[in-house]
Amino acid sequence: MKIGLDVFGGDYAPDATVLGAIEAQKSLDKDQQIVLFGDEADIKKRIEETGGDSSLFDYVHAPEVISMHEHPTKAISQKPNSSISKGFEFLKEGKIDSFASAGNTGAMLVGSMFSVKTIPGVIRPAIATNVPKLKSGFGILLDVGANADCKPEMLNQFAILGSLYSEYVYGVPNPKVGLLNIGEEEEKGNNLTISTYPLLKSNPKINFIGNAEGRDLFTDHADVYVCDGYTGNVVLKLAESFYVVTLKKGIKDDFFDRFNYEQYGGSPVLGVNAPVIIGHGISTPEAIKNMVLLSKDMIVSKFIDKIRSAFN
Amino acid sequence: MKIGLDVFGGDYAPDATVLGAIEAQKSLDKDQQIVLFGDEADIKKRIEETGGDSSLFDYVHAPEVISMHEHPTKAISQKPNSSISKGFEFLKEGKIDSFASAGNTGAMLVGSMFSVKTIPGVIRPAIATNVPKLKSGFGILLDVGANADCKPEMLNQFAILGSLYSEYVYGVPNPKVGLLNIGEEEEKGNNLTISTYPLLKSNPKINFIGNAEGRDLFTDHADVYVCDGYTGNVVLKLAESFYVVTLKKGIKDDFFDRFNYEQYGGSPVLGVNAPVIIGHGISTPEAIKNMVLLSKDMIVSKFIDKIRSAFN
């Protein structure tokens, strides 16, 4: 198993990514190999400087870097030797089994869709994120930004993608799916959610439990929350800001701690032909480590095969 | 000045509404009269029982009650002697200067639009709510549920309505308007926000500062946040649920305290021909008191005239 990691993606890269990779490697089995993408000599030097063993990793030399604010499509085509471009090249060719980066989100999406490509039958991939539950564990929220405008059939597919992710990567049996909406009743909502409800209700591949309101998101109401990418992104960033407030105020609490993105490592792009994970821009070594471990879990669970079967 | 209050609206009515009215009355001047809508004899008895003086209030006998889950349009037409129907009848005829209820939100909206009616030039009224700022004070978020689907021109009008509310009712000079969106850049967003941005940018009646993300909502980024009613409602209920979590966990903090809906009394329906305020279903006496005082502020500020001028 080859787990691809972009060493030059993220606000704290390459320091944080190198440290995260070293930590992740300690948790992996012998046949689980991390492949580092970036300036090879530079990475090796950094690993040795921090007391790590550079021989424990594989390398793909990629001297160019796509910065956080570059135009995704242009950057990917103009910088074929960037760590992100090389990562997707190797992922497409099957030379690595997953690719993760805390770098340019747009470039990661473009690479996912135009390089490894969408799984046949999937209209559009979605980005999923974890939302902590008050009691314990996580729910899944998607889409959180890949598709600002959605059609009902897309949300219906997100429900399947999210359910499979919840079930096979996080081990939640028969995950409950809720439609993020503005009322409990079936007839409530905007045009999108009103049209989506009957699709979800009649979808035999999911365990649909009806509408979920904003207040339900952190409860046991559902395991998978489905919405358009505009709404999901607003909700995600709002929730993150609450967590930041609790941090600033020095509030220590198990529930708020579970908002910490470092714990779950990153947001997967669901619906493409390989595991792709987008890390938070401010990923720390802990976040990078968990992003690598999540990559491993997605490979081990044969999650991509489950999606292919569901959309076959 | 006659301030109309529905005594039979809200989960804790009529106990909470009677207590709230008694408290509010103590803060009012002689010429500021509360008019209570509901079963007159019953209300008087309750006021006397709680040690109040029933002669300090005006009454409009309205023996019927529209419950929380009745169909708004049907209920208003089938129960002309309900406290909400009577309230809007009196408001339309100018016999009261404002009307507030913590009862059926839909009925309050229907009454607003079909009885006192939308101000000429306003496409659709919006419901506004307060969002606390981390440092101090409040921002305004609208729409939070009157219009699940919006057109760009509606959001452009919400920006004006929210700005006037912020400026004249809360005394914020030249309030900053932010478009709730999923990126800082002008070209980011869904179809609605991308089309709305240039309208806001060229609107001389507002102080547009650009896009606002979910994480900006509780900062000093803007004073007025504009979005469609679906998104606003999800955001509002999510924020409320955070507040409930902090309460349950016994976290005491000035910022979280300012989430307490009791402090600001209710959500105004902006864009109709009279001040209408919808209280939270679980309004306590404190919330009812503040709803009455907000009604007074909306009358004193001649807020409705400001809207009429802006849309003239």
Domain shared by B179 and B245, yes or no: yes
Average pLDDT of the residues of chain A: 95
Q: Predicted confidence band at B309 (pLDDT cuts at 50, 70, 90)? A: very high
Chain B residues whose beta carbon lies within 8 Å of the beta carbon of residue A241: 214-219
**8 Å CB contact of B189 and A148:** yes
Residue A100 lies in a domain: yes
Query: Region B162-170: what's the mean pLDDT?
Result: 96
The answer to whether B212 contacts chain A (CB < 8 Å) is no
Specify if B285 maps to a domain: yes
* B98 and B169 belong to one structural domain: no
Q: Is residue B279 domain-resident?
A: yes
Q: How far apart are CA B84 and CA B93, in angstroms?
A: 14
Does residue A231 surpass a pLDDT of 90? yes
Percent of chain B predicted with pLDDT > 90? 88
Type of residue found at A134? L
Is a pLDDT exceeding 90 seen at residue B246? no
CA–CA gap between residue A79 and residue A84 (Å, rounded): 9
Residue range A177-197, pLDDT digits in tens? 999 999 999 999 999 999 999
B182 touches chain A (CB under 8 A): yes
Q: Considering only alpha carbons, which residue of chain A is nearest residue B251?
A: A251
Cβ contact, residue pair A189, B148, below 8 Å:
yes
Task: Please answer whether residues A229 and A147 qualify as being in contact, where contact means their C-beta atoms are separated by less than 8 angstroms.
Answer: yes
Which one of B182, B217, B230 has the shortest CB-CB distance to A182?
B230
- Give the dihedral sign, CA A129/A92/B183/A156: negative
User: Is B189 in contact with A239 (Cβ distance < 8 A)?
Assistant: no
Specify whether A133 is located in the same domain as A244.
yes
pLDDT at A282: 87
Q: Are residues B6 and B57 in the same domain?
A: yes
Mean pLDDT of B287-292: 96
* Interval A232-281: pLDDT, tens: 999 999 998 988 888 888 888 888 888 888 888 899 999 999 999 999 98
Give how far B183 is from chain A: nearest CA, Å. Answer: 9
Answer yes or no: do A238 and A118 share one domain: no
User: In angstroms, what CA-CA distances link A39 with B203, B216, B246?
Assistant: 49, 36, 46
How much is the average pLDDT of B130-157?
Answer: 95
Task: Please check whether residues A95 and A169 belong to one and the same domain.
Answer: no
| Stretch B183-209: mean pLDDT | 97
CATH of the domain at A285: 3.40.718.10
CA distance A103 to A65: 9
Query: What are the C-alpha distances in Å from A73 to residues A64, A69, A114, A117, B55?
Result: 15, 12, 10, 14, 73
ipTM (interface predicted TM): 0.94
Residue A34: helix, strand or coil by DSSP? strand
B311 belongs to a structural domain: no
Residue B198 belongs to some domain of the structure = yes
Q: What is the pLDDT of residues A74-101, one digit of tens each?
A: 999 999 999 999 999 999 999 999 999 9
Mutate to test the interface with A, among B134, B230, B247 (most CBs of A within 10 A): B230
Specify whether B215 is located in the same domain as B128. Answer: yes
Residue B94: burial class (beta carbons within 10 Å; 0-12, 13-18, 19+): exposed
Q: Is residue B102 part of a domain?
A: yes
Number of domains in chain A: 2
Q: Touching check for A242 and chain B: CB below 8 Å?
A: yes
Whether the CB of B238 is below 8 Å from some CB of chain A: the reply is yes
Whole-angstrom distance, CA of residue A105 vs CA of residue A72: 8
Residue B253, pLDDT above cutoff 90: no
Identify whether residues A118 and A137 lie together within a single domain. Answer: no
B155 lies in the same domain as B92: no
Residue A253 lies in a domain: yes
Q: What is the pLDDT of residue A44?
A: 98
Distance from CA of A24 to the nearest CA of B (A): 30
A70 touches chain B (CB under 8 A): no
Sort out which chain A residues have CB atoms less than 8 A from B134's CB and list them: 245
A134 and A25 within one domain:
no
Residue pair A128/A140 in contact (Cβ under 8 Å)? The answer is: yes
Residues B128 and B110 in one domain: no
Q: How many CB pairs under 8 A join A and B?
A: 114
Instruction: Please indicate if any CB of chain B lies within 8 Å of the CB of A240.
Output: yes
> Residue A46 carries which side chain, given as an amino acid letter?
R
Of residues B136 and A92, more confidence is placed in: A92
Looking at the structure, tell me whether residues B134 and B100 fall in a common domain. Answer: no
Mean pLDDT score across all residues of chain B: 95
Mean pLDDT for A25-46 is 97
Residue B204, pLDDT score: 98
Q: Which of A267, A305, A191, A258 minimizes the C-alpha distance to B148?
A: A191
What pLDDT shows up at residue B261?
81
The residue range of the domain holding B91 is 1-120+271-302
CB contact under 8 A, B238 and A228: no
State whether residue A118 is helix, strand or coil.
Answer: strand
Contact A190 B230 (CB under 8 A): yes
Q: Which pLDDT score is estimated for A188? A: 93
Tell me the chain A residues in contact with residue B251 when contact means C-beta distances shorter than 8 Å: 251, 253
The residue-averaged pLDDT of B239-255 equals 87
Q: How many CB atoms lie within 10 A of CB B138?
A: 17
A256 vs chain B: nearest CA distance in angstroms? 10
Quick check: is A266 in a domain? Answer: no
**Residue A146 confidence (pLDDT) above 90:** yes
Q: Per-residue pLDDT tens for B105-124?
A: 999 999 999 999 999 999 99
pLDDT confidence of residue A264: 83
pLDDT band at B178 (very low <50, low <70, confident <90, very high): very high
Across the interface, whether the CB atoms of B240 and A182 are under 8 A apart is answered no
**Position B233 pLDDT exceeds 90:** yes
CB contact under 8 A, A214 and B253: no
Among B257, B229, B232, which residue's Cα sits nearest to residue B242?
Answer: B257
Residue B239, chain A, CB below 8 Å: the answer is: yes
